[in-house]
Structure 1
Amino acid sequence: MKTKLAAAIALSLLAAPTFAALTLYGEIDASIDYLPEDNANTSDKDVVEVSSNSSFIGLKGEEKLNDRLNAVYAIEWGLSADGDSTDWTTRNRFVGLKDAQLGTLKVGAHDTPLKQLSSPVDSFNNYVANKADVNGIFTSEARISNAVIYESPAIKLPTGAIKVNALLASGEDSGIAKGNGSSKTAGRGLGDAWSASVVYDSPVVVAGIAYDKAIPSSFLGSGFSNASSPEVLPAVDKDGKLTSLFAAANTIRAIGRVNLDRGLALKALYQTSEVETAKGNATGSEFIDDAQGWLVGAEYNFLTAKAWTVKAQYSQNTTTFTNNAPDYEAKQIFAGADYAFNKQVKAYGYAGYLTLEQGSNETKQPVVGTGLEYKF
């Protein structure tokens, strides 16, 4: 009898209006990747890996307070679809107020506006365990803790709309720090580090520009390199593996996307980054002069077979130094095809090639993979 009563109470609570605005959502994305190792000092070998590609689960909701003001909230956790790493990593999470005329103000942890700017142009976002997209070789793909975020309402124009986004960070620490999914900035004041963007969005053209000030980032990215003994070693960890240098960065990024007739879209991105002096910067980052990256790509959605999309993309990032070290160049090229069963389920396949160069040294990494993405 007690069990039945407890079940009845639980069901009544779940059905109550208090929970009416709660939405469960997320994404499970896993792929099988063939990543042969090309080693400088040891024997080469074939490697097949199962990759988790930015899988996550989230809860969000919105509560009407009056005719123009709503309370909003969301919390997301990263998941390991292949069971190979830690679950419950930090993703976007916030509580805030949304005004129909003034915009939305959030407090929590959030992607920077500059990071969000890559979404319209990065066709291979999160592929190969999140290392084949711009995050693999570019700087400034950051999620920041202890942040205040503002999102403007859309400013309507005859052909589209303009949106302005801004993030002010409170470091709450003596220096920058890398967390389990999000990073902390240096300084104790609100706005010692910040990020902002302006985006024009229309059915034909998407264009935007963004700037990061003192946002923690990774320089010298190695993409999806899988070599246990790579030839290019601009920075190594305690095990001698190719790694990146974590440092505060000042970055400007510009993007453009043109949606042409008959299903063709052309995309481009350019950015440049410099190291901002901050406590917690990795040793060696003081010798980085700048890092300049760019991307071009295209997608084609078949008019006679709408489920199919083919795409291709080239990206490159070049890091220069002040201590006469050779330039470090990372280049990625990808081609692939998607098949959308519906809005929630997509199968995909791809092939890519990564090249890391520094002086006369060169590390090469091919990849071939296929995966399945399910959104809920």
Structure 2
Amino acid sequence: MKTKIAAAIALSLLAGSTFAAPTFYGEIDASIDYLPEDNASPVSDKDVVEVSSNSSFIGLKGDEKLTDRLSAVYGIEWGLSADGDSADWTTRNRFVGLKDAQLGTLKVGAHDTPLKQLSSVVDTFNNYVANKADVTGIFTGENRISNAVIYESPAIKLPAGAIKVNALLASGEDSAIAKGNGSAKTAGRGLGDAWSASVAYESPVVVAGIAYDKAIPSNFAGRGFTNAATPEVTGTVAGSAFAAANTLRAIGRVNIDGGLALKALYQTSEVEAANGNEALAANIDESQGWLVGAEYNLPNAKAWTVKAQYSQNTTSFKNTKADFDAKQYFAGVDYAFNKQVKAYGYAGYLTLEQASNETKQPVVGTGLEYKF
């Protein structure tokens, strides 16, 4: 009887309570890409047409008002394979936290680093060709971290804009760095053995920011000489080296009257000694990258945007290995049917050079993006 009474009371309390409904959202982005490869070994040249899933995902998010100032917040995202080539339900950002209107937001979970978040402001071809055409293909620093505590400050208002400060502290949980299913684990035992922080200024005309990663796992030399007969950039099959990285990144964007936006990024990375670093990463001296880009929304045809971007990254080594240079040249056009649906096309070129080895990897593609 007591159990039945208690259950009845609980149900009546739930019935009398109101909960904010979660928001269901996501994005499906697929493209058809022509990817011929002129490799260092001519017998390994390719001529391939691929369907790419470009960061497709679904998510749930919401907030629950607790007091006039305080809310509980949550969010969870899963990556999807729009082309069916890989497994669904990869890890994307997911967290639970508290948001104070005056003090900011504190989250716990897995999250993009503040340094990674800065690139979305300037990377014109973000996520294109399954992340091979954007800066993820050649830069360090594009990382999502597990076991993290994240702080996001409220906007500090200035006369012409506002400043925001973000920080992430990661716990290695007494383990080595490791790649996960969409996010990476840091090394160390304590909260903050690895961390990331950013400061950004935002206004209608100018966006500028600077960020730093400390011991955040990342890929160095992310693209290699595919199918080359000679050893890869660091000696591994994929051509990359996975290691904890100390990275400094600065970005800037200027929005000019008439629909023109100019963008730039510069960064430098060094390897931080950590358990789990791939052994060959110890030979890396530093990695320096930069990009410049532009977007132009046509004044008399607002649905159309033309854009172009050049990015470059150079990895140097402590031994006698020659510098490894990766360069991306991309141009494209978008047509926005509305705020949710966009069609796009692009053409680009990736060159990889190290001493006498050179690989040329052009790409031409078109795709459709639907946000809901």
CA deviations over 1:244-284 (Å, ceiling 9, x no partner): 10000000000000001100000000000000000100011
Q: Which runs of 5+ in 1 are unaligned?
A: 1-14
Q: Please tell me whether residue 281 in structure 1 is matched to residue 277 in structure 2.
A: yes
CA deviations over 1:306-327 (Å, ceiling 9, x no partner): 0000000000000111112100
Corresponding residue for 2:56?
55
CA deviations over 1:345-373 (Å, ceiling 9, x no partner): 00000000000000111011000000000
Residues 66 and 284 of structure 1: CA distance in aligned 2, closer, same or farther (over 3 Å)? same
TM-superposed CA distance for 1:16, in Å, is: 9.6
The answer to whether the Cα contact below 8 Å between 2:329 and 2:350 also exists between their aligned partners in 1 is yes
Q: How does 1:127-206 map to 2 (within 5 A)?
A: 127-206=128-207
TM-superposed CA distance for 1:182, in Å, is: 0.3
Measure the CA separation in 1 of the matches of 2:128 and 2:214: 28
CA deviations over 1:167-201 (Å, ceiling 9, x no partner): 00001142101100000000010000000000000
Measure the CA separation in 2 of the matches of 1:17 and 1:319: 58
Corresponding residue for 1:29?
29
TM-superposed CA distance for 1:41, in Å, is: 4.1
TM-superposed CA distance for 1:232, in Å, is: 7.3
Corresponding residue for 1:10?
none
CA deviations over 1:28-87 (Å, ceiling 9, x no partner): 000000001223141534210000000000000100001000000000000000000111
Corresponding residue for 1:67?
68
Corresponding residue for 1:255?
251
CA deviations over 1:282-306 (Å, ceiling 9, x no partner): 0110011100000000000001100
Q: Please tell me whether residue 264 in structure 1 is matched to residue 263 in structure 2.
A: no
SS state at 1:262 partner: coil
Q: How does 1:38-53 map to 2 (within 5 A)?
A: 38-39=38-39, 40-42=41-43, 44-53=45-54
Corresponding residue for 2:232?
233
SS state at 2:309 partner: strand
The answer to whether the Cα contact below 8 Å between 1:249 and 1:276 also exists between their aligned partners in 2 is yes
Q: TM-score, normalised by structure 2?
A: 0.93
Measure the CA separation in 1 of the matches of 2:359 and 2:18: 56
Residues 274 and 344 of structure 1: CA distance in aligned 2, closer, same or farther (over 3 Å)? same
AA of the residue aligned to 1:218: N
AA of the residue aligned to 1:285: A
Q: Which runs of 5+ in 2 are unaligned?
A: 1-14
SS state at 1:180 partner: coil
Corresponding residue for 2:293?
297
Measure the CA separation in 2 of the matches of 1:231 and 1:294: 28
Q: Please tell me whether residue 353 in structure 1 is matched to residue 349 in structure 2.
A: yes
AA of the residue aligned to 1:288: I
AA of the residue aligned to 2:351: T
TM-superposed CA distance for 1:100, in Å, is: 0.3
Measure the CA separation in 1 of the matches of 2:355 and 2:44: 23
Q: Please tell me whether residue 219 in structure 1 is matched to residue 215 in structure 2.
A: no
Residues 16 and 30 of structure 1: CA distance in aligned 2, closer, same or farther (over 3 Å)? farther
Q: CA RMSD in A?
A: 1.6
TM-superposed CA distance for 1:229, in Å, is: 3.4
Corresponding residue for 1:108?
109
